[in-house]
A and B are shown apart, each in its own frame.
Chain A
Amino acid sequence: DQQVKQNSPSLSVQEGRISILNCDYTNSMFDYFLWYKKYPAEGPTFLISISSIKDKNEDGRFTVFLNKSAKHLSLHIVPSQPGDSAVYFCAAWTGANNLFFGTGTRLTVIP
């Protein structure tokens, strides 16, 4: 039962353009959402998060948008840089003991 879904396994974007990564969830009990970035042979690293009481959170080039009614969130990276090439995981939390992760989207930023 995949409660967090990332339907695009991969995305390619030109350097300097905007990258938009999408995530959908099914559990209405989720009230905190996180994005992680993962390079090969490394563990995921935290990127940005958003609480369900907000609809937008911005940190430098990274912005996360939350649409609770649609159970959808997205991560915007602008401008995209080659170093952003990685796998991005969306994760959701109910406040209990664990996070629920999506299957990831592999972003490739083309120089």
Chain B
Amino acid sequence: NAGVMQNPRHLVRRRGQEARLRCSPMKGHSHVYWYRQLPEEGLKFMVYLQKENIIDESGMPKERFSAEFPKEGPSILRIQQVVRGDSAAYFCASSPGGPDTQYFGPGTRLTVL
């Protein structure tokens, strides 16, 4: 049973470009969580999704960031018009239920030049 997959593992973008981060949850998991870790900080919750629904996006910046978890395919975290401050590690976690049973992916390290 494969774990949570994230790709790409490393992503370099120039300011103003778009970044798309993908997350494939563990088999049988229908709950996906996205976290961001800025340098020297802990993981900060961004968004919680179930299939085709955003359940809680209270941690998402109001502009430029969006997330989806379609019926088929991976969850996508999309950042439009990236800025240098978006440089961080973005972790996805999946769960069969609540966040107390999350399994994390290896993360995507986004670097904005």
Please give the residue numbers on chain A whose beta carbons come within 8 Å of chain B beta carbons, in ascending order.
Answer: 2, 4, 6, 32, 34, 36, 41-46, 49, 89, 93, 95-104
Contact = CB atoms under 8 A, between A and B. Distances in A.
B73 interface: no
Interface of B: 4, 6, 9, 33, 35, 40-45, 48, 55-56, 58-59, 91, 93, 98-100, 102-107
A102 B42 contact: yes
A89 B91 CA distance: 14
A25 to B, nearest CB: 12
B44 A93 contact: no
20 contacts: A32-B100, A34-B100, A43-B6, A43-B93, A43-B105, A43-B106, A43-B107, A44-B91, A93-B98, A93-B99, A93-B100, A95-B98, A97-B48, A97-B55, A97-B99, A98-B56, A98-B58, A98-B59, A99-B43, A99-B100
B20 to A, nearest CB: 19
Contacts of A102: 42
A103 B102 contact: no
Nearest to B99: A99
A44 B4 CA distance: 11
A45 B42 contact: no
A86 to B, nearest CB: 13
Contacts of A32: 100
Contacts of A101: 35, 42-44
B18 to A, nearest CB: 24
Contacts of A4: 42
A44 B104 contact: yes
Given A99-B45, A101-B44, A103-B41, A43 B100 contact: no
B100 A49 contact: yes
A4 B43 CA distance: 11
